[in-house]
Amino acid sequence: MYMKHLVSGLLLSLAISGAAWAGPTPPARRAATQKHLIYFKDKAGSPFQLDQPDAFLSARAQARRQRQNIALTAQDLPVNPSYVAQLKAVPGVSYWYPSRWFNAVMISCDDATLAQVQALPFVRQASPLNRKKTAAPASDTYAPVSAATQRSVAGRRSDYGKAYAQAVQLGAVAMHDAGYRGEDMHIAVFDAGFPGVDKLTPFQPLFAENRLASTYNFVDKQPAVFLRDGHGTSVLSTMAASQPGFFTGTAPKATYHLCITEDVASETPVEEMNWLIAAEYADSVGVDIITSSLGYTTFPDFPAATHTYAELDGNTAIGTRAADLAARVGILVLNSAGNDGNGAWRYIGVPADADSIIAVGAVDSVGIRSGFSSVGPTADGRIKPDLAARGGQAAVIRPSGAVVLGNGTSYACPILAGMTAGFWQANRNRTAQEIIALLKQSGTQAAAPDNLLGYGIPDFVRAYNLANPGTPLGTRPVHNRGEVRVYPNPSEADQFFLTLPAELQRRPVQVRIFDTLGRLVSEQTLVGAAGPAQLSAAHLIAGTYSCLVNAGTVQYATRFVRR
């Protein structure tokens, strides 16, 4: 349960079908069909090769691995398309998705057809994924923003609106002032739906600036995501919303991939499988960060599959294994801890128990744990949650466009994910696991972590200074600095110019240019520039670039297009 189109055709088809994409084959006996996970014995005879990754991974996905020195393995190879073709040829099979990490496929069929599938020579095992369906209520709560709350927030930092307090609590305001707003960081959001995102003003920069990189609805097997449940809209707003004076999220310049994995009409392991398939998809298109405000413990529609506490060991559940496999390929995964802290089941859910991700708990405006926030430890004794952020009375945008206060670790998770994107942007040479370690070291409970809030509330400035002890940031935001700008923009010329604000003029200034894959493609030091500085673009191919300019602890970021 939830804490309660634009991608190349080749990669999309590989991510969701393993061969040529096709809609589900109509099942022979619809009333009796159920979904199953079919594991293959091997990948023998597959046409995919590790030394030809372009066939199944985007350039950005390969670059993410290269930056972190992560080698490709057989687990990265797609399932054998011959096996898929033979399985789809069995009458009565409705084919859904493959999983290269599990070397398996998800199908639906009746019991008689399943017996035929299990008799295929390349099939190792079959596991049931669902039974009946019943409605599932949301477990997050909302309330209108009171006039008193509006007065307490308004005027302190007008650009952020009611989101200011939750941003400043993590140091995200200082992060933005330092020039890190998530530029060229790709974030995948796994949730239950995103209605209104295509219409509401705070989300329009995603479209105007081409920062909505892809969408896919893994529940309905289609690209459309601006539908279904509005939970994802609220989650996305805490990061991506960008309407100065009304609402600004923690990563307002990041690039997003929106994925529907949660079906609010049912509770079965199918949703964990959707999470897995979406994670593989996110890997293939080159995502840096996954933020998931989802969690699974009980399955009222399939009681036999309900998780026990003993299964929260970081290695057992489908969703947990999926999260750890995403971490293995260099994706930084954040997942909400859960909202069961006040219930009979007090513990975190799946996949928050994964050992290589950040499970996020919830605090209020003054940093006190919200009572509903789920706790640890895991079954094998590890501390959970890992970190915490604002989840008690957090400001979010609903599909109607209204700003409300929401309770749920669902909001703590993306608020922190946005800050994490900016922090990784500022420390691009670090691995995902190093970023997690630095954030933990910056936490308010780093010296004494516990199973209520883990390492506590992280802070961008503290984490940045830990990562860069020789060039620390100041502890106070810098205001009214002016702007850094590249012109002409776009440009076809071999030379372009960089304007510098007064505080950077006549000082040694480092200029670094990164491509859309996050690779450093140019580095130059300017000495004593008193006006626009001339830079060479002759070696840059056509594309969009990020330009990071810094002099000591003063830093700026801007973007430009080379034609």
Cβ–Cβ under 8 Å, residues 83 and 95? no
Flag whether pLDDT at 78 surpasses 80: yes
pLDDT digits (tens, 9 = 90+) for 366-412: 899 999 999 999 999 999 999 999 999 999 999 999 999 999 999 99
In terms of Cα–Cα distance, which of 346, 399, 351, 402 is closest to 369?
Answer: 346
| Fold (CATH) for 141-429 | Rossmann fold (3.40.50)
Beta bridge partners of 193: 228
| Lowest-confidence region among 41-45, 225-229, 298-302, 433-437 | 298-302
Residue 111 is among the residues annotated as catalytic for this protein = no
| Lowest-confidence region among 212-226, 256-270, 429-443 | 256-270
Higher pLDDT, 19 or 511: 511
Residue 410 is among the residues annotated as catalytic for this protein = yes
Q: Are strands 94-99 and 358-363 parallel, antiparallel or unpaired?
A: unpaired
DSSP one-letter code for 449: -
- List the 520-526 sheet strands across, edge first: 520-526, 509-514, 543-551, 554-562
Read off the pLDDT of each residue in 336-362 and give the average, rounded to a whole number: 94
Of 191, 263, 459, 515, catalytic: 191
Residue 269's pLDDT is 76
- Predicted TM-score of the model (pTM): 0.80
Domain boundaries, the chain: 9-128, 141-429, 485-562
Flag whether pLDDT at 104 surpasses 50: yes
Residue 19's pLDDT is 37
Other beta carbons less than 10 A from residue 472's beta carbon: 15
CATH class given for the domain over 485-562? mainly beta
Of 94, 237, 293, 410, catalytic: 410
CA 120 remoteness from chain centre: 37
Of 231, 266, 373, 442, catalytic: 231
Residue 191 is among the residues annotated as catalytic for this protein = yes
Residue 147's pLDDT is 38
106 phi/psi in degrees, rounded to 5: -105, 125
